[in-house]
């Protein structure tokens, strides 16, 4: 488990980092998903974050492309 060094050691389960310090990661604050509480990360419910993390690990980070579109 990764803990944010910038934001009060907030837990970031199943973190996949991209574009510097930004990440796709799980959150235990599931009721607030979809609300602007993050500083740029993409938050998922823990089970979905785990599934994505395991898929990336299986395929290899070098074979994974993350594209963010408006």
Q: Residue 10: what are its φ and ψ, rounded to 5°?
A: -60, 130
CA pair distance 5, 31, nearest whole angstrom: 23
Q: Are 24 and 2 in contact (CB under 8 A)?
A: no
Q: What pLDDT does 63 receive?
A: 95
Residue ranges per structural domain of the chain: 2-63
pLDDT tens for each residue of 3-61: 877 777 788 999 999 888 889 999 999 998 988 776 788 999 999 999 999 999 999 99
The three-state secondary structure class of 59 is helix
Q: What pLDDT shows up at residue 37?
A: 77
What is each CA distance from 37 to 6, 55, 61, in whole angstroms? Answer: 14, 26, 27
pTM of the model: 0.83
């Amino acid at each position: 488990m990764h803990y944010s060094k910038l934001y009060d050691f907030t837990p970031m389960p199943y973190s996949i980092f991209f574009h510097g310090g930004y990440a796709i990661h799980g959150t235990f604050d599931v009721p607030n998903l979809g609300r602007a509480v993050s500083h740029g990360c993409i938050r998922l419910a823990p089970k979905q974050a785990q599934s994505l993390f395991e898929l990336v690990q299986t395929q290899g980070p070098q074979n994974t492309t993350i594209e963010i579109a408006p």
